[in-house]
C-alpha cells in the first residue's frame, strides 16, 4: 500500500501541521508572587517530538491533569480548551492532546480593569472594557469595576479562531518551576482549533513575558533544539529540549565540541509586534545565490515583509517569485539525472518530486540572513523528504524524494503580513536562540537529543 502525502495550511499566517504518519494535511501582570525551586541560569524543559512540538504543564491547586499545548513562537497568548468544549470543523484535525480543563478552585477571573484584559483586547482602555463587561456607568466613573470579569476575547490564526475568557491560576512546569497568578485564556468554543497553544511570541500575555516579569534571567532568553520529525513515538527516545534562560559557557562549549551560533537581528513589525521577524538576503542552491526580494530584508510600517521564525508552522513558506526561482534551480540540478515523480506530486501536493535508485544527489540549500556572514546551511533532511512510494499497490515500490519548501503566495496576497515564514521542519537539528534583550535570533547545528547530557553537569 503506497504512502501518500496530502498537503496545506494551518495556524497564524498559513501554519502547516502534520497530523498522521507521513501525511501532510491540506489546511498551518503586575509582578506576581512566584516561587522557584530552581535558581539556575537556565532551566531545560521537554517538548514532545513530532510535526507539532508540545509543552506540558499543570494548572491550579490541587494540580490539574497534565495539559499539553503547541509551542508557538508565532503568537502571543496562552490558551487551552476548557470544559464544556466544542470545536467546530475539527473532523479532519488531530485529536486533543489532553482533556478539556475543569477550572480549579484556585482559578480567578481577570477583571476588566486589568492590564492583561487590555492586552487581550488589543489595548482597549479599561473604560471601554468595563462597558463591554456591562459594568454600570457609576461604577465606571468611580473606577470600581474590579468585580466585573474581562469580556471574552477573540483570537484568530490562519486557519482557525477561538473565543476565550481570561483567568489567573498557578502554572507549574516540569522540574517544579511554578508561576503564581499566571494569565491564560479558557476557550469553550473554537473553530478548527482542537488543541490549545502556548504562545511564545512578543506580548505581555506570552509565556516568556509572564515568566520574565518574575524571573528576567529565565524569561528574557529561550531556545529550543528540535529533534527530527517523527510519527512513531517508539522511535523517539528523547524529547526536544526547550531551554529557558542562558548559560553562555555551556552555549560555547559542548563536550569537546565548540558551538558557533549564527546570529541575525530581529525586525520590529508595527502591525504584528508579536512576530520574531528577521531579514532574509537570499537563498543558495548549490553554488548559485538567489537574492531575496527587497521586502524580505525589512518590515515596512504597514507590517509587510521580513521572514518570521515560527515554531508553530511546519514548513517554510516563500513568496512565489522567490519560491519559483529556488524550485527552477533545484529542478535544473536534480531533474537532469532523475525522473520526475509527477504522480506523487498530484497525490501529495508536494513538488518537485523525483524517483531515484539508491541515493539522490541534491544540491546544498543555504539561507542567507541580513548580517555579516549570517549563513545557515540546511541539512539535506531539512529540505528533501525521502520515502518509499508503492504506486498503485501492485507495481514495484520506488524511492521518492520531494523538496520540502512551500509556495506562500504572491506579493499581493502577503501584503500586510510576513513575506516569508521559516517553519519548524527546516529548524530540525538546530538550537534556535531567541535573545529578547539583544533582539537577536541565533542558529547552531546541534545533536538535540544529546543536549540533555549537558544539563546533568
Which residues, in sequence order, are CB contacts of 144 under 8 Å at separation 6+?
none
b or e along 219-248 (b: 16 or more beta carbons within 10 Å of the residue's beta carbon)?
A: bbbbbbbbbbbeeeeeebeebbbbbbbbee
- Active-site residue flag, 310: yes
- CA gap 444, 430 in Å, rounded: 5
Parallel, antiparallel or unpaired: strands 365-369 and 375-377: antiparallel
Q: Give the torsion through C-alpha atoms of 229, 233, 234, 235, to 10 deg.
A: 10
DSSP 206: S
The number of beta carbons lying within 10 Å of the beta carbon of residue 110 is 22
- CA gap 428, 405 in Å, rounded: 14
Of 52, 159, 310, 389, the catalytic one is 310
Q: Which of 238, 170, 208, 411 is nearest to 311 (CA)?
A: 208
Q: What nine digits make up the cell of 338? A: 532523475
Of 72, 76, 159, 389, the catalytic one is 72
CB of 97 closer than 8 Å to CB of 195: yes
Local structure of 434: helix, strand or coil: strand
DSSP 12: T
- CA gap 389, 355 in Å, rounded: 9
The number of beta carbons lying within 10 Å of the beta carbon of residue 82 is 21
Q: Which are the catalytic amino acids?
A: 72, 310
Amino acid at each position: 500500500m503506497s504512502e501518500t502525502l496530502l498537503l496545506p495550511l494551518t495556524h497564524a499566517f498559513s501554519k502547516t501541521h502534520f497530523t498522521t504518519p507521513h501525511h501532510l494535511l491540506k489546511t498551518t501582570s503586575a509582578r506576581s508572587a512566584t516561587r522557584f525551586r530552581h535558581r539556575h541560569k537556565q532551566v531545560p524543559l521537554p517538548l514532545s517530538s513530532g510535526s507539532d512540538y508540545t509543552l506540558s504543564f499543570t494548572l491550579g491547586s490541587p494540580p490539574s491533569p497534565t495539559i499539553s499545548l503547541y509551542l508557538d513562537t508565532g503568537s502571543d497568548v496562552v490558551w487551552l480548551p476548557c470544559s464544556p468544549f466544542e470545536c467546530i470543523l475539527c473532523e479532519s484535525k488531530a485529536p486533543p492532546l489532553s482533556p478539556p480543563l475543569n477550572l480549579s478552585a484556585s482559578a480567578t477571573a481577570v477583571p476588566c480593569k486589568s492590564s492583561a484584559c487590555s492586552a487581550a483586547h488589543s489595548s482597549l482602555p479599561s473604560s471601554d472594557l468595563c462597558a463591554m463587561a456591562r459594568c454600570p456607568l457609576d461604577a465606571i466613573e468611580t473606577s470600581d469595576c474590579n468585580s466585573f470579569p474581562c469580556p471574552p476575547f477573540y483570537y484568530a490564526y490562519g486557519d482557525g479562531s477561538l473565543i476565550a475568557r481570561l483567568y489567573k491560576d498557578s502554572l507549574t512546569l516540569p522540574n517544579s518551576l511554578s508561576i503564581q497568578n499566571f494569565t491564560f485564556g479558557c476557550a469553550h468554543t473554537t473553530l478548527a482549533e482542537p488543541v490549545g497553544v502556548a504562545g511564545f511570541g512578543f506580548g505581555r500575555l506570552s509565556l516568556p513575558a509572564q515568566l520574565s516579569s518574575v524571573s528576567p534571567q529565565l524569561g528574557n532568553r529561550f531556545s529550543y533544539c528540535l529533534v527530527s520529525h517523527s510519527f512513531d513515538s517508539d522511535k523517539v527516545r528523547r524529547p526536544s529540549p526547550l531551554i529557558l534562560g542562558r548559560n553562555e559557557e555551556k552555549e560555547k562549549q559542548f563536550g569537546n565540541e565548540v558551538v558557533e551560533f549564527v546570529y541575525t537581528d530581529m525586525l520590529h513589525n508595527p502591525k504584528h509586534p508579536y512576530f520574531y521577524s528577521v531579514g532574509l538576503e537570499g537563498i543558495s542552491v548549490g553554488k548559485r545565490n538567489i537574492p531575496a526580494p527587497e521586502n524580505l530584508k525589512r518590515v515596512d510600517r504597514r507590517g509587510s515583509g521580513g521572514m518570521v521564525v515560527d515554531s508553530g508552522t511546519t514548513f517554510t513558506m516563500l513568496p512565489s517569485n522567490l519560491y519559483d526561482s529556488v524550485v527552477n534551480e533545484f529542478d535544473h540540478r536534480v531533474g537532469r539525472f532523475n525522473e520526475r515523480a509527477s504522480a506523487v506530486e498530484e497525490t501529495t501536493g508536494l513538488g518537485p518530486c523525483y524517483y531515484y535508485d539508491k541515493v539522490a544527489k541534491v544540491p546544498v540549500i543555504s539561507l542567507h540572513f541580513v548580517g555579516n556572514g549570517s549563513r545557515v546551511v540546511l541539512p539535506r533532511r531539512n529540505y528533501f523528504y525521502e520515502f518509499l512510494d508503492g504506486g498503485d499497490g501492485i507495481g514495484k515500490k520506488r524511492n521518492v524524494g520531494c523538496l520540502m519548501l512551500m509556495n506562500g503566495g504572491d506579493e499581493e496576497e502577503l501584503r500586510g503580513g510576513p513575506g516569508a515564514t521559516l517553519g519548524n521542519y527546516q529548524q530540525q537539528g538546530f538550537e534556535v536562540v531567541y535573545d529578547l534583550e539583544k533582539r537577536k535570533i541565533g542558529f547552531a547545528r546541534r545533536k538535540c537529543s544529546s543536549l540533555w547530557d549537558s544539563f546533568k553537569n
